[in-house]
Amino acid sequence: MKFFLKKHFIQFIVIILFIFCISPYIKAQEEETLIKEEISNSIQEIFRNRNKAILNGDLKLIEVSYDKNTKYGTWAYEHEETKKKYLENWEEKQGVRFTDITPDIVIKRIRRKDDKFSVNLICSTEYKYVYENCPEIINRCRIGTSHVLNMAKKDNKWIITKEWYKDPFADSLNLDNLKVDSIKQYILSQNERELSNVGDRRKSAVEYADKYCGIATEKKCGYIYNKKYRNYNSQGGDCANFASQILHEGGKFKKNRSWNYDSSGATGAWLNADGFKDYMIYSGRASVIAHGSYEKVYKASYKLLPGDFIAYEKKGDITHISVVTGADCKGYSLVSCHNTDRNRVPWDLGWSDKNIKFWLVHVNY
């Protein structure tokens, strides 16, 4: 009898402890999970509305998603406003219309700080566009971005109070100085290029770029870089490292003392954008097709083949490398790169500034 009473007393104590100690903790965890689900759903809606605002030209769709009573919230909204103008300018220059912009968002982490939350996420966005004189053909490209957002609840709605991400259009599309009409007419007059007959090494280079262009890949590829190589984005950029990988892993160019990557690191010619461009040209592995402003080189860009590359020059310094991975229905060259991640994106999108010069480089496979 004593054993029976003791057993039930212990059970009673356990129940009391659960009710007063463990149950509130579980309830708090459940509430936290629900809040994070709310935030995740709100982010999905905000990103969809951002893209609708670009397509429809209606910024009212996103204005309510930012805390414009704060400096950082206002800046985040104004950045999206400027981005919309970038894309409108490029559409006009190119003779195209964006028909759909679809984000694929992966939430990496949500952390609470008092009544606010910090969110880390990646977003792989597919852009679809058509040319004015052949609207039946849909062209696709993909851009990947990493975001850090601060979220707070206001009037029963989650809004952005601060946001940081490396915008692929941040190098501005200042097209006011370009002769847009003549450029547009030339681009619209072009036809699709036959690229299926390029060599196997070029095809292999493109396959490698498609697989490892990070957040700009499709979901089935996992949004990853090749783990055999270090990611140098946090150390100044990974664009030349990725271009070197494409030419070595895909294009079968052999490493040497000047152009090399191993367990101890990489040479300047492998890793540095300026060094990569100079090495490829002066070693004879590549030759320059054209160099200069957009107006000077855009016609020559139709000579680029998959596996060639473009170097982007600002103030006399090469700051970026992209590898050609295809062409759209008007034969306009498309590129892939890291930093930010791009997959088969029109080669000048985000780079058509009057202060930028381009090196169009043919690689000798």
Cα→Cα distances 258→167, 197, 254, 292, Å: 33, 32, 11, 27
C-alpha to C-alpha distance for 149 and 172, rounded to whole angstroms: 22
C-alpha to C-alpha distance for 39 and 55, rounded to whole angstroms: 24
pLDDT tens for each residue of 339-355: 889 999 999 998 877 78
Q: Please report where in the chains the tokens 């101890």 appear, as a residue.
A: 264
Burial (CB < 10 A; 0-12, 13-18, 19+), residue 244, is buried
Residue 4 has pLDDT above 50, yes or no: no
- Average pLDDT value for residue range 112-136: 94
Higher pLDDT, 130 or 59: 130
Amino acid 10: pLDDT: 63
Residue 23 has pLDDT above 80, yes or no: no
pLDDT tens for each residue of 218-248: 888 889 999 999 999 888 899 999 999 999 9
pLDDT tens for each residue of 312-328: 999 899 999 999 999 99
Amino acid 328: pLDDT: 98
Amino acid 34: pLDDT: 85
Residues in Cβ contact with 13 at an 8 Å cutoff, skipping those fewer than 6 apart: none
- Average pLDDT value for residue range 30-36: 80
**pTM more than 0.85:** yes
